[in-house]
């Protein structure tokens, strides 16, 4: 191995090591991921709207709120493009983000969805669950900070008048998530690939349940989307020690 190869090997080894990431100071560079994509839109709401459109609206509002608070959004990851899930963490890391927030809207398990007809379409709804939830991984270098960020976002969502849903902890197939903080709707979900970053603080926000007809009607209002975005941005600011 010549000197150049040794230097290259050492550099690559250093990049691959997550150790010490949790102690690296955060610069507040926030990347926002819009859950799903235009072609693969995620859940379908009670009235037939793709989850992606709800996610997109809150993500755009979040970017504006972060800018207002003098935080440093590094952009929305590949807006309106088809980005495979496996590439999303890498895309945020490439932009040197140190916080990555995923914006999603929630559904319910198959057995809770009932058929109904809306505006001539055959759709499904569920009126048993409503509220936000927050997901973190317990197996990443910045797990502790991710939980702190989720807590700060949860506090702000509660202060803004929203409530958590606890249905992901139900003892039914597809759920059984570990509920870390019932008051703030925080769950641990180590298997979720998109939360697995070696360098970033990551939190997934389910803003509300769009298969609930009542909650969908609330969540589609631009002022509610802005309120959610402001609560998430305020949580990020609090987490970073802003106020
Ligand atoms: Zn989703």
C-alpha 12 to ligand 1 mean position (Å): 34
35 Cα: distance to centroid of ligand 1 (angstroms): 5
| Residue 10 alpha carbon to ligand 1 centre in Å | 39
- Tell me the CATH architecture of domain 26-239: 3-Layer(aba) Sandwich (3.40)
Residue range 56-114, pLDDT digits in tens: 999 999 999 999 999 988 988 888 889 888 899 999 999 999 999 999 999 999 999 99
Q: For residue 199, report the distance from its CA to the centre of ligand 1, in Å.
A: 23
> How confident is the prediction for the chain on average, in pLDDT?
90
Mean pLDDT of 139-148: 97
The rounded Å distance from CA 51 to ligand 1 centre is 7
Report how far ligand 1's centroid is from the alpha carbon of 99 (Å): 19
- Report how far ligand 1's centroid is from the alpha carbon of 21 (Å): 28
pLDDT tens digits for 78-89? 888 898 888 999
Ligand 1 centre to CA of 24 (Å) is 30
Instruction: Report how far residue 112's alpha carbon sits from residue 26's, in angstroms, rounded to the nearest whole number.
Output: 41
117 CA distance to ligand 1 middle (Å): 23
Residue range 118-129: mean pLDDT, rounded: 96
Give the Å distance between the CA of 54 and the centre of ligand 1. Answer: 10
Task: Tell me whether strands 121-125 and 133-136 are parallel, antiparallel or unpaired.
Answer: unpaired
For 191, other C-beta atoms within 10 Å of its C-beta total 10
Rounded CA gap, 22 and 142, in Å? 5
Tokens in use for 181?
């903080």
123-153 in b/e burial notation, b at 16+ Cβ within 10 A?
A: bbbbeebbbbbbbbbeebbbbebbbbbbbbb
pTM score over 0.85: yes
> Which residues, by Cβ under 5 Å, contact ligand 1, an ion?
35, 42, 104
Tell me the CA–centroid distance for residue 194 and ligand 1, in Å.
Answer: 12
- Angle, to 10 degrees, between the axis of helix 143-159 and the axis of helix 222-239? 140
Q: What is the pLDDT of residue 22?
A: 59
């Amino acid at each position: 191995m010549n000197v150049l190869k040794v230097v290259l090997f050492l550099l690559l080894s250093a990049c691959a090591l997550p150790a010490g990431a949790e102690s690296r100071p955060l610069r507040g560079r926030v990347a926002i991921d819009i859950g799903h994509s235009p072609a693969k839109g995620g859940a379908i709401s009670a009235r037939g709207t793709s989850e992606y459109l709800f996610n997109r609206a809150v993500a755009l509002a979040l970017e504006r709120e972060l800018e207002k608070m003098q935080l440093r959004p590094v952009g929305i990851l590949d807006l309106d493009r088809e980005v495979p899930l496996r590439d999303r963490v890498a895309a945020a890391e490439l932009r040197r983000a140190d916080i990555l927030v995923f914006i999603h809207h929630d559904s319910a398990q198959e057995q809770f969805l009932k058929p109904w007809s809306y505006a001539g379409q055959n759709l499904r709804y569920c009126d048993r669950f409503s509220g936000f939830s927050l997901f973190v991984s317990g197996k990443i270098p910045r797990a502790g900070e991710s939980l702190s960020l989720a807590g700060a976002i949860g506090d702000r969502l509660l202060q803004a008048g929203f409530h958590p849903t606890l249905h992901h902890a139900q003892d039914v197939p597809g759920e059984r998530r570990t509920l870390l903080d019932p008051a703030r709707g925080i769950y641990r979900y180590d298997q979720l690939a998109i939360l697995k970053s070696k360098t970033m603080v990551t939190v997934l926000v389910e803003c509300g349940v769009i298969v609930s007809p009542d909650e969908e009607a609330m969540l589609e209002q631009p002022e509610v989307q802005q309120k959610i975005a402001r609560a998430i941005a305020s949580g990020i600011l609090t987490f970073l020690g802003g106020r």
